[in-house]
Chains A and B, each alone.
Chain A
Amino acid sequence: QKEVEQNSGPLSVPEGAIASLNCTYSDRGSQSFFWYRQYSGKSPELIMFIYSNGDKEDGRFTAQLNKASQYVSLLIRDSQPSDSATYLCAVTNFGNEKLTFGTGTRLTIIP
C-alpha cells in the first residue's frame, strides 16, 4: 500500500463548477497535510496546508481534513481554465521535515 494515494485522473470539470480532489494516507501519525499545484513542465508550488480536522478556506480553495478516516481533500470553487494542472497531496509527521507525496491528480477545466 502506498503511503499517500491519489486518483491519477484525469479529472475533467466544467468551468465554473467545483473541482474535488481527494487524498488518503496510511500513516496515522501524519500531522501536517499539504496541497501543491504543478503545471506541466513547471515545479510544484504550495497552495495550502492544513493541520487540524475540519475545513480551511483560502479564496477559491478549501482544504478538508478527516484524521479518523485518514482523508484529506481539496475543493476548488468556480473552477477556471488556469486551474488545469496536476495537484499533489503531501503529508509529514510531527517534527519531521520530510514530505511524502502522492503521485498527483491531473485536473482539466473545460471551458
Chain B
Amino acid sequence: DAGVIQSPRHEVTEMGQEVTLRCKPISGHNSLFWYRQTMMRGLELLIYFNNNVPIDDSGMPEDRFSAKMPNASFSTLKIQPSEPRDSAVYFCASRTRETQYFGPGTRLLVL
C-alpha cells in the first residue's frame, strides 16, 4: 500500500490566491482527517470525515477554509483567499481501528 498520498508537497503562493490541497487516503480507511502544524500552535485538527461525511469542522479557522470529500478515495482542503498566517504544514491522515496514518504533508508558504 502506498500510504496516504498528498499533493502538492510544497506550495508557494501569494496572498489572496486560492490554494487547493489534495489527499488520497489509504484504501479501506473510512475516516479522514485534515491537520495543520505550526511551531506556535503545534498540530491542530481542522476537520474530519467519516464515510465521506464531515463530522467535526470545529477546528476550521474561518470561512476562508473549506473541505470536501466527494468519494472514499479523495479529499480536498481549499483556502480562498490565502493569507500569510495560513503558512504551515498541512497533514492529511486516514484511520483504521485505533490508528491514524499520516500523509507526508503539504508545506504551504503564503507570501
Chain A contact residues, CB within 8 Å of chain B:
32, 34, 42-46, 49, 88, 97-104
A65 CB to closest chain B CB (Å) equals 14
User: Which B residues touch A99, using CB under 8 A?
Assistant: 33, 45, 100
**Size range of the interface on B?**
20 to 34
Residues in B33-74 with C-beta less than 8 Å from chain A: 33, 41-45, 48, 50, 55-56
Q: Main SS of chain B's interface residues?
A: strand
What 5 new A-B contacts, CB under 8 Å, besides A98-B48, A103-B43? A34-B98, A43-B103, A43-B105, A44-B102, A98-B56
User: Which B residues touch A100, using CB under 8 A?
Assistant: 45
- 11 A–B contacts from the bound complex (CB under 8 Å): A42-B104, A43-B102, A43-B103, A43-B105, A44-B91, A49-B99, A88-B43, A97-B48, A98-B56, A99-B33, A104-B42
